[in-house]
Chain A
Amino acid sequence: MTSRDDILESIRASLPRVDRPLPHVPMFDEDPPASLLSAFKDSLERMGGIFLDPPASGDVLAPVRVKVASAKVVCSTVPEIAGNRDIATVSATQELADVDFAIVRASFAVAETGSVLLSETDLNINALAYLAQHLIVLLDPADIVVNLHHAYRRPEFRERHYASFHTGPSATADIEGVLIHGAQGVRSLSVLPIARIYQPQPTSPQEKKHD
């Protein structure tokens, strides 16, 4: 008998003979915050993320330009701002090891937790979001859902092979509880609220907003 059959048989022999129906999970959204964007900002900052407030000048991308001004290697996967490392030319993940700043756009964000969702469609190469020293994420304020219950209704989780919630930068407190940003991955995560100028790469007709 294969291990698979063995294990399944052993499970069947052990199944507790009790009736346990699957409960209904509510959306817990009766009391949403007045502004999803400011709730998101608050949650993000609690988790050590940086929210790039749009400057009074109206030049929304200015805070990003300031950040990357002195960086050697900038890899951007978004049309709004150019980098100097073209991800299309990268063939092995290791070639991204010297990236100082990665600039990507989030599929969507969650106000409750301050998370942004990054998938292979947003990153092109998944490792970009972890090998770069710093990560800048563009977020369309229209792409914020109120909580995780809404988040898991999004199509990305059924369509993408890889989808990761980033909630602040890499962090650890494994030594005496002292908080360190950039334990292994990115040392900082900044989020810039800016509407999409292009439609995201459509993967299916349901890509449109659900909320």
Chain B
Amino acid sequence: MTNSAEQLPGRAMLHPEMVAAEDNQAMYRDGHRLDHAEGASKPLRSRPEPQPRGAKIHGNRPIDQAEAAARFIASPEHEKMHDERLWDLRQKRDREMHHIPEWEQLRSLASAIKEHTLTHLDEYLDQFEAHARANGIHVHWARDAAEHNRIVHGILSDHSAKSLIKSKSMLTEECGFRHYMASVGIEVIETDLGERIQQLDKEDPSHVVVPAVHKLRTDVAKVFADTIGTDPENSDVHYLAEAQREATRPLILAADAGMTGGNFVVAETGTFVVCTNEGNADLSANVPKLHIASIGIEKIIPRLEHLAVFVRLLSRSALGSPMTQYTSHFRGPRAGGEMHVVLVDNGRSERLGLEEFWTSLKCIRCGACMNTCPVYRRSGGLSYGATYSGPIGLIIDPTFNARKYSNLPFASSLNGSCTNVCPVKINIHEQIYAWRRELVKRHDVPLVKKAAMKAAGELLSRPAAYRAAIASADVALAHLPRFVIYNGLNAWGKHREVPHPPKQTFHSWYKANRGGTQ
């Protein structure tokens, strides 16, 4: 694998398959391929293969992440594409980072601003509400998912709205919003391409930024053939995307209301900010007269000048592009329109009180920790069986349901790469370990996992040794989590280094983990 960190912007290889014949915008003026907006910097090819599905959900029983991961790994085309695609995003992130001399300073600022805001959260929410109201925004507060859904339903009922176009929002996933709306007879249309694919396939998003990243083009062709009537034999990506555009546009024009999330909320101006690449949030917000934004209370920052820090970090960390194509600031309703903001707690205020875990609220949902995580890349987001997957999921899912997600904090090699890439400097791997300890205390965690805990605990308590242990992790990550096996942090870390191809090392990690032996 070449190291694209050394490549100049836009100098990735142009591959003819990757651009539509007439789309010369997909090419830089020197003929090189563009790779903004999640575009891969190299062609990824895969052969058709049935899509492995996510974790099996049995009520409140602990999710068996390893079981679902096994099925993902047993689908080599999916596993390979997923792994390469996300690693490509990670490398593009590195490339961007190297272009910004103040990168580390920005991360420290972002972390400090978030920590300041979270420790004064009540004051800033109060400020936001006052300013937003003064600008004509209706502000609502929801304690939990159920209240959020009821409030939105109430607003829609007041306007006799029967259809809602919306942009991607992890918060509404958290709230089970689409299910609720279906139960009250309101049609919800997702407008983000990836999210729409997932909605039509009746599957949850597998990644916070690229919701259908676990699907091959042939999977999408099948979903679209079954739902919007495309040619089942045609899996050309341009054809599929265009068919979706054509199918969704009339729904956008006819919708009674629009909904977005919010990436950032600015207290001093009463503004909320939405970042997308497709412009679908702006369609959702600006075509219907009614705009509802559902926003988690932790998204707030004090002032506009702070926004610059986060906007500079977000897309670079997420996709390795300097900015999302659209970064939209909503400060009040448009002429003749109506705007509502629903501020949602849903466990956040409680999380704020958890001494070891409150800083997880700094998260800006960039997905960088997922893209870099060897376990995530190899097992797919749906294997976690939770709204949030990957490293960030491991540390926030248990706050929603400690029993159901009790296995998740063990789906990590504790290699620390997530912590290294996190733009707001959350100590993710340390929190993963802290959750293990917590869950062992509170729940019946299998013996083998308890042993893993002990080894990790010893190493984590000696920072210098730990740093040395993870020093080479980044290199190993490029291919496989060799480190996963050899770092001695894990139950499956009892192996000795033996020369075998990377693929095998992962599988042996996997087998050991899965089987709970060694």
Contacts and interface: CB of A to CB of B under 8 A. Distances in A.
Q: Do A and B bind each other?
A: yes
Interface of A: 2-4, 6-8, 10-16, 18-23, 25-26, 28, 43, 45-50, 93-94, 97, 112-115, 120, 126-127, 129-131, 147-149, 151-153, 157-158, 160-186, 188
Interface in B464-494: none
Nearest to B352: A14
Given A157-B269, A158-B269, A161-B333, A174 B197 contact: yes
Nearest to B282: A130
12 contacts: A11-B125, A15-B353, A16-B355, A18-B119, A23-B109, A120-B335, A148-B308, A152-B305, A161-B136, A161-B330, A183-B278, A183-B280
A161 B331 contact: yes
Given A16-B119, A164-B327, 11 more contacts: A12-B122, A14-B352, A16-B358, A48-B26, A131-B283, A147-B308, A148-B307, A161-B135, A169-B325, A174-B194, A177-B38
A99 to B, nearest CB: 13
Interface of B: 9-10, 18-20, 23, 25-26, 28-29, 34-40, 44, 46, 81, 85, 88, 102, 105, 108-109, 112-113, 115-116, 118-122, 125-126, 129, 135-136, 141-143, 147, 191-194, 197, 210-213, 215-217, 220, 237-238, 240-241, 245, 248-249, 252-253, 269, 271, 277-280, 282-283, 285-288, 297, 302, 304-309, 311-312, 321-335, 343, 345, 349-353, 355, 358
A49 to B, nearest CB: 8
A3 B143 contact: yes
Given A12-B122, A163-B329, A180-B237, A152 B287 contact: no
A170 B325 contact: yes
A132 B212 CA distance: 27
B306 A93 contact: no
Contact of A173 (B37, B308, B349): B37
A169 B24 CA distance: 13
B297 to A, nearest CB: 7
A172 B9 contact: no
B237 A176 contact: yes
The 3 closest A-B pairs by CB, nearest first: A185-B279, A177-B40, A14-B353
Contact of A167 (B10, B147, B325, B329): B325
A25 B241 contact: no
B352 A163 contact: no
Contacts of B279: 130, 170, 183-186
Contacts of A113: 322-323
Given A15-B121, A93-B286, A130-B286, A162 B329 contact: yes
